[in-house]
Amino acid sequence: MDAGQDELAEAFSQARPRLVRVAYAILGSHSDAEDVVADCWLRLVTAHCAEPVRDVESWAVVAVSRMALDVLRSARVRREQYVGPWLPEPLVSAADGAPAIDPAAGLAAGSARMAADPADKVTLDDQVSYALLVVLETLSPAERTAFVLHDLFGLPFDEVAAVVGRSPGAVRQLASRARRHVRARGMPPAVDAAEHRRVVSAFAVAVTSGDLAALIQVLDPEVVLVSDGGGVVSAARRPVLGADHVARFLLGIVSRARPGDWIQPTGVNGAPGFTVYQAGRLVTVVSLTVAAGRVARVDMVRAPDKLPHPAAGG
């Protein structure tokens, strides 16, 4: 590799974490995002040989976004044929100092305190929240791409237009429509990290101690639980609705825990969540959406090909 390509590779390496975040926000799949960014590098080298690319990050953001939009459009057909609910692929990171929980042994009240990490170190500004990714799944590919690029990553509408293949005015309307849809879906406001940890800790204590009344109290009355097994492993084929039904569903799962199973507090897209292990094998990632001091949504990712991927850099 010559000096020019060394500089190109260094510039691309510096831009890579942002490129992965952009592709992941558009696709909801970290593995697909990594593939798109790898393909972008090959296209960048080809383009640079034809004509030097002066602003590598700007060029690559547009190229990655176009490729991700193409992948998303083709993926929509597959997702319509998916067995059961389709959930985005979560980004899992370690929660420093958080002890594993033995669901078979139960817990003493208050013993499931969440560690300060990752919520204080990895903010939702650094990663797209899981709750938002779930809502983005309800948008059209063009709406999603316009919203992600403009509202989340700050690209001007003329650059977004170059990605989507529409006029800046049309893209502005796409983003506005997506914004209204996100609001209509009841996206909860940002929650203070300490408050989020408090609610998640109370949830963990109630679940692992088998306390139905306490668990119902920590759940929003209209809580929704969604489980994605991809037709490969057991999962609820339809959303579970309401605090009583969700609480009984969760306690039913925990009641079947065997010796050697454990629950590990982890970061899920920068917020406190859990990973579940059976016989030493990761089987579930749990994301909790918190609103007004209670758990408003429980997402359980069980499809094996979505478990798990380390958090993208940055």
Non-local (6+) Cβ contacts of 36 within 8 A are 23, 27, 64, 67, 68, 71
8 Å CB contact between 267 and 119: yes
What does the pLDDT read at residue 158?
A: 93
**Residues paired with residue 268 on neighbouring β-strands, in sequence order:** 92, 271
Q: Which residue has the tokens 């791409």?
A: 145
Average confidence (pLDDT) per 10 residues, the chain, 314 residues:
74 94 94 95 91 92 96 81 87 70 53 43 57 92 96 94 94 95 80 87 92 96 94 88 97 88 90 90 94 94 83 46
Euclidean distance between CA atoms 168 and 157, whole angstroms: 5
What does the pLDDT read at residue 136?
A: 93
**Helix (H) and strand (E) counts in the chain:** 10, 8
Identify the DSSP state of 305.
G
Structure token digits, residue 42: 């090959």
pTM: 0.85
